[in-house]
């Protein structure tokens, strides 16, 4: 059964507005830079090549497929604005990272922070056996990240901190993947795992004595530990100079406290983002 959240739609609309504002500024900045370069040419017969723009702007429609809530059997599907905007590989807005900064970066590594939106949530209406557990809202998180690439291999780690007070605590995601270009195609795949603190696991997978009395589920205590192990896959194809399509999928398996929780109906999780982007 699929569900669409009006709250998510409103937040996505706000993200689109930010993307359009950045895109408009990018195009204006690039045009101004090219005009200044042209005016600075003194010899009439000289040939100058405009410098490459530091801006990279691409966006388009996307679709997200994700569990209705952590441990759910059903999936929900909703539209999503797919963004890929950056300036000088320093400031960026990409996917759920609404606004990010590469504090330290080179061709091989990045270290930085971002304001990221997390769609993980749970509503009592999502499933009859959730009644009495209360709702858990999605919201913004502070993301700290680092990645390093050697040849075709990239290792990355990212820590997410709930800053909206929705009880989602801290999670840390570690991934290792290989990327191989073939013609206009790009293929990436590799394993990873997610660690969660005690607050996160208690919110999504724990059942207090009060919740047990209200829901009929047995009381269940949790703690910090490995939330899941997963496999990431990514495929993109350049249809033309400006158009590119991509599909990113993560298949995970809940572990430890998350796997044994009475709230969990299905241990296997599938998260997918498909999009078609126009690059300027």
Higher pLDDT, 246 or 126: 246
The answer to whether residue 1 is domain-embedded is no
Whole-number pLDDT of residue 48: 61
Higher pLDDT, 28 or 162: 162
Higher pLDDT, 166 or 18: 166
The answer to whether residue 216 is domain-embedded is yes
Contact in structure between 268 and 250 (CB atoms under 8 Å)? no
Contact in structure between 41 and 48 (CB atoms under 8 Å)? yes
Q: Which of 195, 269, 189, 276 is nearest to 234 (CA)?
A: 189
* Mean residue pLDDT across the chain: 86
107-118 mean pLDDT? 96
With cut-offs at 50, 70 and 90, classify the pLDDT of residue 49.
low
Q: What is the rounded CA–CA span in Å between residue 271 and residue 65? A: 6
* Total structural domains within the chain: 1
252 CB contacts (<8 Å, ≥6 apart)?
Answer: 194, 228, 229, 230, 231, 268, 269, 270, 271
The answer to whether residue 62 is domain-embedded is yes
Per-residue model confidence as pLDDT tens digits over 86-102: 999 999 999 889 999 99
Whole-number pLDDT of residue 119: 86
The answer to whether residue 61 is domain-embedded is yes
Q: Return the CA Rg of the chain.
A: 22
**Residue 56 lies in domain:** 6-279
Write the CATH number for 47.
2.40.230
Q: C-alpha angle 173/137/6, rounded to 5°?
A: 115
Per-residue model confidence as pLDDT tens digits over 1-21: 434 333 333 333 333 333 433
The answer to whether residue 18 is domain-embedded is yes
């Amino acid at each position: 059964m699929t569900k669409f959240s009006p709250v998510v739609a409103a937040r996505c609309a706000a993200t689109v507005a930010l993307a359009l504002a950045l895109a408009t500024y990018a195009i204006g900045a690039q045009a101004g830079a090219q005009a200044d370069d042209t005016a600075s040419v003194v010899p009439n017969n000289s040939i100058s090549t405009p410098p490459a723009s530091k801006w990279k702007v691409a966006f388009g429609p996307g679709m997200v497929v994700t569990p209705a809530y952590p441990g759910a059997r059903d999936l929900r599907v909703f539209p999503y604005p797919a963004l890929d905007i950056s300036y000088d590989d320093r400031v960026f807005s990409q996917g759920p990272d609404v606004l990010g900064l590469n504090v330290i970066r080179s061709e091989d590594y990045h270290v930085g922070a971002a304001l990221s939106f997390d769609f993980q949530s749970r509503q009592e209406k999502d499933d009859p056996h959730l009644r009495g557990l209360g709702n858990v809202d999605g919201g913004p998180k502070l993301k700290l990240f680092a990645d390093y690439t050697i040849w075709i291999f990239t290792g990355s780690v990212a820590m997410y901190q709930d800053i909206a007070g929705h009880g989602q605590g801290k999670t840390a995601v570690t991934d290792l993947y290989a990327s191989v270009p073939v013609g206009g195609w790009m293929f990436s795949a590799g394993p990873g795992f997610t660690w969660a603190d005690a607050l996160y696991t208690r919110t999504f997978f724990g059942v207090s004595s009060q919740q047990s009395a209200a829901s009929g589920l047995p009381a269940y205590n949790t703690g910090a530990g490995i939330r899941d192990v997963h496999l990431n896959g990514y495929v993109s194809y350049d249809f033309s100079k400006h158009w590119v399509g991509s599909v990113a999928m993560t298949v995970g398996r809940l572990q430890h406290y998350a796997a044994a929780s009475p709230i969990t109906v299905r241990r296997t999780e599938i998260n997918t983002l498909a999009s078609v982007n126009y690059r300027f």
